C-alpha cells in the first residue's frame, strides 16, 4: 500500500501496464520512467479503476472469505480421500458429507464405532439412500490412523467455519456503516444489496462481493459494455485479413469474473427465466463453457443498470427469444438453410396463395 503522506502530497494514478508498454530492446528503469512521464504529459495514460477506502476494506473481507471457503472445501476433499482409503464410500450415498447425517457418522467413526449397521442408523429421514445402500457404503476397513486424520480435518473444518462466520458478521457491520454514510439523494448501500439480490442466481453474499469489486458509482463506466469489457467477460479481438479468429476471454477482474460465473450457474437452474433460455440457446452452438460466460455477462449488464438507476430486476422471461421480430427469426432460419447448401427465397404466404 502507498504511504498516506505521499498520497496527500501527490496525485497518484494506477495504470494498466499493457497500455504503456515500452519499445522492445530499450528496457531499463530509467527509460521506463521517462516513457511513462512522456505519456502522462501527453494525456495518453488512462487511470485504472481504484475504489474508495471503504469499498477496498469490504473487498478485502469478501476475498478473504472466498479463500477460506476454498480451504474449507479442500479439507472436505481430504476427508473424502481418507474415507476412500478406508474403503468407505460415504459420498456416494450422501450428497453433503458435512451435513447433519454425514457429520454424525464421521464423529461416530472417530469415537470408535465400526459396525456399518450402527453407522447407517445415524442417517436422517431425509436421506434418499436405502438402508442396504448405506450398509454397503459404510462397510470398510477403518483404522486408528484413519480416525486420527478424520478428527484432524474435522477440527480444521470447524475452525475455518467459525472464522467464516466471524467474517460474515464483520461484512454485515461494514455494510451497515456504508448504509448510514450514504449521501442524501443516493440509494442507500443496503438497499442496493437488496436490489441486486432480486437478480436470479445472486444471493445477498454474492451481491456484497460484486459491489465490493465494482463499487456503487457506475458513472465511471460509460455503458454496460464497458463494465463487461473491464471485468473480462467479453472475448478479445483477434482479426487478420478480414477474418475473425477464435480468442479467449481477457484476464480482466478474476475475483469478479469467478463470482459472476458462479451466479450464472445458479441462474441457469431457475425455471422460466431469461438466463436459462439464453444458456440452452447458446449451449447447442458454442458449448456450456461459452454459454455460461455469456449468461454471466448478461447478469453483469443487469447489475450495471440496477446500480446506475436504482431499480429492481425485471426478468425478460424464457419466451423472450420467441417474441423477437418475425423478420429476424426468418433471416436466422434462412442463414441456417444456406449453410446446409440450399438456396432459399422467401415469399409471404398471402402472395404465394
For residue range 76-121, what is the model confidence (pLDDT) as tens digits? Answer: 999 999 999 999 999 889 988 999 999 999 999 999 988 989 988 8
Q: Is 108 exposed, middle or buried (0-12, 13-18, 19+ CB in 10 A)?
A: middle
Whole-prediction pTM: 0.79
Percent share of the chain, pLDDT over 90: 42
Q: Is 228 exposed, middle or buried (0-12, 13-18, 19+ CB in 10 A)?
A: buried
Distance from C-alpha of 177 to C-alpha of 197, rounded to nearest angstrom? 19
* C-alpha distances out from residue 122 to 96, 115, 125, 136, 277, Å: 15, 12, 10, 15, 42
Asked which of 31-40, 87-96, 219-228, 238-247 is least confident by mean pLDDT, the reply is: 238-247
Residue 200: pLDDT over 90: yes
CB 16 within 8 A of CB 48: yes
CB 49 within 8 A of CB 220: yes
Chain centroid to Cα 70, Å, comes to 13
Domain ranges of the chain: 4-41, 53-167, 186-235+246-353
Query: Which ranges constitute the DSSP H helices of the chain?
Result: 4-9, 29-41, 53-85, 100-111, 116-120, 131-138, 144-181, 189-196, 204-214, 224-231, 254-268, 274-286, 288-309, 326-339, 349-352
State the sign of the Cα–Cα–Cα–Cα dihedral 236, 238, 239, 244: negative
**DSSP state at residue 46:** P
Amino acid at each position: 500500500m502507498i504511504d498516506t503522506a505521499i498520497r496527500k502530497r501527490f496525485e497518484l494514478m494506477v495504470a494498466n501496464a499493457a497500455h504503456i508498454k515500452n519499445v522492445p530492446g530499450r528496457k531499463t528503469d530509467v527509460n521506463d520512467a521517462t516513457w511513462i512521464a512522456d505519456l502522462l504529459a501527453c494525456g495518453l495514460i488512462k487511470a485504472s479503476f481504484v475504489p474508495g477506502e471503504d469499498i477496498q476494506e469490504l473487498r478485502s473481507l469478501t476475498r478473504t472469505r472466498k479463500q477460506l471457503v476454498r480451504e474449507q472445501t479442500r479439507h472436505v476433499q481430504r476427508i473424502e480421500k481418507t474415507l476412500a482409503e478406508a474403503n468407505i464410500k460415504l459420498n456416494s450415498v450422501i450428497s453433503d458429507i458435512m451435513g447433519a447425517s454425514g457429520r454424525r457418522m464421521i464423529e461416530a467413526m472417530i469415537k470408535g464405532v465400526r459396525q456399518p449397521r450402527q453407522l447407517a442408523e445415524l442417517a436422517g429421514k431425509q436421506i434418499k439412500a436405502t438402508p442396504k445402500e448405506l450398509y454397503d457404503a459404510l462397510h470398510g476397513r477403518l483404522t486408528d490412523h484413519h480416525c486420527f486424520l478424520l478428527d484432524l480435518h474435522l477440527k480444521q473444518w470447524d475452525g475455518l467455519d467459525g472464522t467464516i462466520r466471524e467474517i460474515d458478521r464483520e461484512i454485515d457491520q461494514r455494510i451497515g456503516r456504508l448504509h448510514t454514510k450514504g449521501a442524501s439523494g443516493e440509494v442507500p448501500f443496503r438497499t442496493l444489496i437488496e436490489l441486486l439480490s432480486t437478480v436470479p442466481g445472486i444471493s445477498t453474499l454474492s451481491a456484497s462481493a460484486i459491489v465490493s469489486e465494482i463499487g456503487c458509482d457506475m458513472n465511471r463506466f460509460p455503458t454496460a459494455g464497458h463494465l463487461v469489457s473491464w471485468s473480462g467477460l467479453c472475448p478479445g479481438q483477434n482479426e487478420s485479413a478480414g477474418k475473425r479468429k477464435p480468442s479467449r476471454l481477457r484476464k480482466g477482474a478474476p475475483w469478479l469474473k469467478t463470482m459472476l460465473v458462479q451466479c450464472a450457474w445458479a441462474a441457469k437452474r431457475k425455471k422460466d427465466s431469461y438466463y436459462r433460455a439464453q444458456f440452452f440457446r447458446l449451449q447447442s452452438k458454442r458449448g456450456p463453457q461459452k454459454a455460461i460466460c455469456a449468461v454471466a455477462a448478461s447478469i453483469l449488464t443487469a447489475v450495471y443498470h440496477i446500480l446506475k438507476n436504482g431499480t429492481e430486476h425485471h426478468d425478460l422471461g424464457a419466451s423472450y427469444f420467441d417474441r423477437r421480430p418475425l423478420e429476424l427469426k426468418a433471416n436466422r432460419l434462412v442463414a441456417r438453410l444456406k449453410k446446409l447448401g440450399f438456396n432459399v427465397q422467401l415469399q409471404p404466404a398471402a402472395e404465394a396463395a
